[in-house]
Structure 1
Amino acid sequence: MIEFLKSLQILSDNELQKINAVIKTKFLKKNGFLIKEGAVCDEIAWIKTGILRSYYSNVEGKETTKCIAFENELTAAYSSFITQEPTFENIHALCDSELLVLKRTDLYALYAGSAEWQNVGRILTELHYIDLEKRTVSFQKQTGKERYEALAAEHSKYIKFIPLKHLSSFLGITPRHLSRLRNGS
Structure 2
Amino acid sequence: MEADKTALIHFLKQIQVMSDAVAVIAAADFEQVSYQKNELLLAQGQISNDFLFLESGFIRAFTLDTEGNEVTTNFYKPNTIVFEVASFLKRIPTAESFQALTDCTGWKVNYDTFQVLFHSIPEFREFGRANLVNGFIALKERTLSMINLTAEQRYENLINSRPDIFRNASLKHIASYLGITDTSLSRIRKESARK
The equivalent residue for 1:24 is 31
Give the secondary-structure state (helix, strand or coil) at the position aligned to 1:160: helix
What pairs with 1:32-181 in structure 2 (closer than 5 Å)?
32-58=39-65, 60-181=67-188
**Structure 1 unaligned regions, length at least 5:** none
C-alpha deviations, 1:75-105, integer Å up to 9, x for none? Answer: 1111110011111111001111112212221
After superposition, give the CA deviation of every residue in 1:33-80 in whole Å (9 maximum; x if it has no partner): 110011111111122111111111245421111111112221111111
Following the alignment from structure 1 to structure 2, what is the Cα–Cα distance between the partners of residues 133 and 41? 22
Task: Give aligned pairs, total.
Answer: 185
* d(CA) in 2 for partners of 1:62, 1:145: 22
Secondary structure in 1 matching 2:46 = coil
Output the TM-score relative to the length of structure 1: 0.92
Give me the identity figure in percent: 29
Unaligned stretches of 5+ in structure 2?
1-7
Moved more, 43-52 or 163-172: 43-52
Residue identity opposite 1:55 in structure 2: F
Aligned CA-pair RMSD: 1.6
Q: Where has structure 1 moved over 4 Å in runs of 4 or more?
A: none
User: Tell me, what secondary structure is at the counterpart of 1:91?
Assistant: strand
One-letter amino acid of the structure 1 residue matched with residue 79 of structure 2: N
In 1, Cα distance between equivalents of 2:76 and 2:152: 20
